[in-house]
Structure 1
Amino acid sequence: MAQPDVLQDKVRHLIAQRLPPRSQQLQIDIGQPAARISACESPLPYLVHPEQNVFGRVAVGVRCEGDEGVAGYLQVSVRAVGDYVISRQRIAAGDVVKADMLEIKRGPLERLPKGSVLKPEQVLGRQASRSFSRGAALALNNFRERWLVQRNQRVVLQARGAGFTIRRDGKALDNGSLGSSIRVLSTDGKLLNAQVVGQNELLLRY
């Protein structure tokens, strides 16, 4: 039979490896493990959603050493203190984020909204899709790559092929960030797909 403290220590170690820099794990609660997990002599916990933050409610799976199957799952509660990003000033929808708009705050991470911004570089240069009041915690899914082309704007189309380059005007039918593909209406009425390569500049390839 696995001792509860052995399982808890292994889960604590797993969580500690994935916490953001300068964070401190305060408390972890693995709840009441299922009988099959408790019967595992050498439990091997893993994160069910490794791309997600490891504070608040965290889903952890448990395998037994030497057994390919999953012994069960835990809903782990993690309390931690660490750094996160808040708005230093009001950020309006459509604003491109600059360093002086942000500041670092330290506090309980488990109280943050899901997908909160923990490092300024996650949103610098990106465009806000909604407004934030001063002092608000920021969620990553509320920021997108900055639009270099906006719907209904006039754009320049570059057509490149073997030994030629042609430039002509068009009208964007979608918003687009650097590298994205959008629909464009050319001056002769043709519907085209082109790649965003700069401010109001699109590239057609033949």
Structure 2
Amino acid sequence: MTRRLGGLMCWLCCTLAQADGLQDAVRELLAPRLPARAQLVAVDIGQPAARIAACATQRPYLVHPEQSVIGRAAVGVRCLDEVAGYLQVSVRVVGDYVVSRQRIPAGEVIKASMLELKRGPLERLPKGSVFEPSQIIGRQASRTLGRGMVITQNHVRERWLVERNARVVLQAQGAGFTISRDGKALDNGSLGSTVRVMGSDGKMLSAQVVGQNELLLRY
């Protein structure tokens, strides 16, 4: 009886140690994916499957490396060269996020003075929240933003250098020639985007936005 109890305690201690080691490995996997100045508060890996718990060479990896790891993350665990199983990891993070310092009307170009940072639990924020002002400075508000509003990527768009119905200069370039003429934009467009334009002769063309009210058509 004593031997059995001793063996059970040994197995339990070994299993707990492996679980702690796996949790540490998952934390090391997630930490580099966090925004600047963010800190991991807690990582809950749940109850690993038996194959994961029994593996002595647990190597976690992100199932969807392109997605944010804040809130919840899907983590796979390899044992040697095989996948031993998967974890649904709960990730709590404290860090900085961007809010509007003032009311920002729709279409307004975002400036640094319009923004401020707040600090708090990032997993409670809306999807696509902005963590660095530099991510959105110079872009345009796609809707009116109230003061103190948490800003997400859906709240901004690339700045329009060409607006619908605006008069534009259309440059046509080809082998050994460049021709400039006036036209009217039929779409809104940001730098590098393609918009429709109506030339002075009434013909509709598609051209690339290369500057403020400037379009380029290559032949």
Q: Tell me if both proteins adopt one fold, taking TM over 0.5 as the criterion.
A: yes
2:84 counterpart residue number = 71
How far apart, in 1, do the equivalents of 2:122 and 2:32 lie?
16
Aligned counterpart in structure 2 of residue 13 of structure 1, from 20, 23, 28: 28
Q: Assess, with a 3 A threshold, how the Cα gap between structure 1 residues 71 and 170 changes in structure 2: closer, same or farther.
A: farther
**Normalized against structure 1, the TM-score is what?**
0.92
Q: Does 1:168 align with 2:181?
A: yes
Change (3 A) 1:129 1:11: same
Q: Report the alpha carbon displacement of residue 78 of structure 1 after superposing the two structures with TM.
A: 0.9
* Matches of 1:82 and 1:92, distance apart in 2: 27
Q: Contact 1:52–1:115 at 8 Å: present in 2 too?
A: no
Unaligned runs of 5+ in 1: none
The residue that corresponds to 1:60 in the other structure is 75
Q: Which of residues 152, 161, 170 in structure 2 aligns to 1:157?
A: 170
Match of 2:133 among 92, 114, 120: 120
1:132, distance to aligned residue in structure 2 (A): 1.6
Cα offset for 1:45?
1.3
Q: Please give the TM-score of this superposition, normalised by the length of structure 2.
A: 0.86
CA RMSD of aligned residues (A): 1.7
What is the number of equivalent residue pairs in this alignment? 204
Q: Which structure 1 residue ranges, 4+ long, deviate > 4 Å from structure 2?
A: none
In structure 2, runs of 5+ residues without a counterpart are 1-13
**1:73, distance to aligned residue in structure 2 (A):** 2.3
Question: What one-letter code is carried by the residue in structure 2 that aligns with 1:99?
Answer: A
Query: C-alpha separation between the residues in 2 aligned to 1:48 and 1:128?
Result: 33
Deviation, structure 1 residue 172: 1.5
Match of 1:111 in 2: 124
Counterpart selection for 1:31 from 43, 46, 49? 46
Query: Is the radius of gyration larger for structure 1 or structure 2?
Result: 2
